[in-house]
Amino acid sequence: MLLFFYLFLQTEPKGLDELGYPVKVFLDFDPLIFLSTLLSSRTIVKLFYLSLLTIVLTMILGRVFCGWVCPFGTLNNIVSLLRKKEPYRFKRFRLKYLILIFLLSASLFTLQLSGLLDPISLFIRSLTISIYPAFNYSLRSLFDFLYDTDIKILKDISETFYEVLKKSILSFEQPIYRQGLFIGGVFILIIGINLYERRFWCRYLCPLGALLGLLSRYSILKRSVSEGCNSCGVCERNCPSGAINKTRDWLKTECFQCFNCDDLCPQKAVKSGFKEQRGLQVDLTRRQVITYISAGILSVPLVRSNPFLKEEFLNPRVIRPPGSIAEKEFLKRCVRCGECMKVCITNGLQPAFLEAGLEALWTPVLVPKMGYCEYRCTLCGQVCPTGAIRRLSLQEKVRIKIGLAMIDRGRCLPYAHGRPCIVCEEVCPTPKKAIWFERVLIKDRNGKEREIQQPHVDLELCIGCGICEAKCPVVDRPAIYVTSIGESRSKVNRLLLEEYGGGGRI
């Protein structure tokens, strides 16, 4: 878990357009993300070959990933220590297997929902969008309070600590995300439910745990109980997975291979090894399996029954990160992990809500008013684990169009009010400015003529980065704004008919 947090903190812009070791390495070892992406997009991402190592280890040793590696499982276990030790109560192990069946059935019909419940993706997304920003805000507020005190020694100490934390733990700027409260609330609920029953998420809800449980059915590492067992129940009470039932019986697919029962047994009757002892299996009825397969299949048309699937209903404000593949393929691959949002230099990438339909929930969209797309930045493509955002070279990035700027003449100062303003042209990052000026003569209310520069957007040069919208001095609703039209990834979302041989529209 400490390694996970370290890599999470490293998944941040450090002034260079290169990341060392982003936290996506945990997703690369995640077989659920590998399998669901393979089923939904019919493609294999090379780095996901690392997940085959997790699969092999599970088939040999059992659910060692859950017991020894998973950082989210570790956090659930730590919180579980706060509750009183009582026998497990819920006993609905089959629920997570049914959730897994639902997710994989949907993926088979190209609906990618696994990222919503995959523990690694969920953990990264929750930290990125809610927990880490709240942590940053709390620490910065504390240091601001200490700095404002009249006690000099407190000021000096706080400044020293602040400088250290700024170089290690704190983000470069305070991140702010839409839906942060909601996503954080869901995360706290998942963690808090461990106070009701130990590792509740891991036992009953985790789809990755269910997949690893299925893979561990034939593992060769087993638990054995000798005749010296007096059924004292110590192992059952202390089992974090609830796999032990009535001391001698155990659910092999639920065992985390933590060896607690071996260590705690007062009679030394429990051993872990490679001796044959048949473990019990979770009982799934044929009716339950068929029901959840059907539910997964039926969810596809239900989730996709929205107008955003039609080209003429494209939401102009759904601006995807540079390097994003075509929208339909993008949704088949994106697992909503939030890493692209974490590394966005300007905090412009935000989690979508329903702008592009329910299927696109929590996928990244650029909100220029909150932050623009930095001209010479390719970090989002470097951290994407599934290839939904391609990794671009700087030479490719500066030619990618993610949208087009439009001028609202009713709000633009030179047009609507005859006031000089050249901000949009000044901040435009393209070598040859995509915004140019026309000198015109205007008359004021007294009939006096004067010359003013009125801006225009060059359709060929504008890449839709959004810096003009972010910096526009008309702050409530900028006089220049960016929409997704003209994006490089689409041959249909075009402004002019002649583009792509008449395949676009006006």
3-state secondary structure of 439: strand
pLDDT at 49: 82
Strand-pairing partners, residue 271, are 224
Task: Express each pLDDT in 371-414 by its tens digit.
Answer: 999 999 999 999 999 999 999 999 999 999 999 999 999 999 99
| Closest by Cα among 403, 401, 350, 354 to 130 | 350
| Sign of the CA dihedral with 200 first, then 202, 207, and 209 last | negative
Question: Average pLDDT over the chain, rounded to whole?
Answer: 86
pLDDT at 506: 42
**Percent of the chain with pLDDT strictly greater than 90:** 48
The count of C-alpha atoms lying within 13 angstroms of the C-alpha of 197, restricted to the half-sphere facing its C-beta, is: 16
Q: CA 39, 41, 43 angle in degrees (round to 5)?
A: 90
The residues near 191 (Cβ < 8 Å, ≥ 6 apart) are: 75, 76, 79
Q: Which of 140-144, 155-159, 340-344 is predicted least confidently?
A: 155-159
Residue 219 · residue 59 · CB < 8 Å: yes
Please check the confidence at residue 502 and state whether its pLDDT lies above 60. no
| Sign of the CA dihedral with 172 first, then 188, 178, and 104 last | positive
Of the two residues 297 and 151, the one the predictor is more confident about is 297
pLDDT at 232: 77
| Sign of the CA dihedral with 299 first, then 302, 307, and 309 last | positive
Residue 364 backbone phi and psi in degrees, to 5: -80, 135
Please check the confidence at residue 258 and state whether its pLDDT lies above 90. no
pLDDT at 228: 74
Q: Token pair of 284, please?
A: 């799934």
**Total residue count of the chain as it appears in this document:** 506
CA 392 – CA 217 distance, rounded (Å):
42
3-state secondary structure of 395: helix
The pTM for the full model equals 0.89
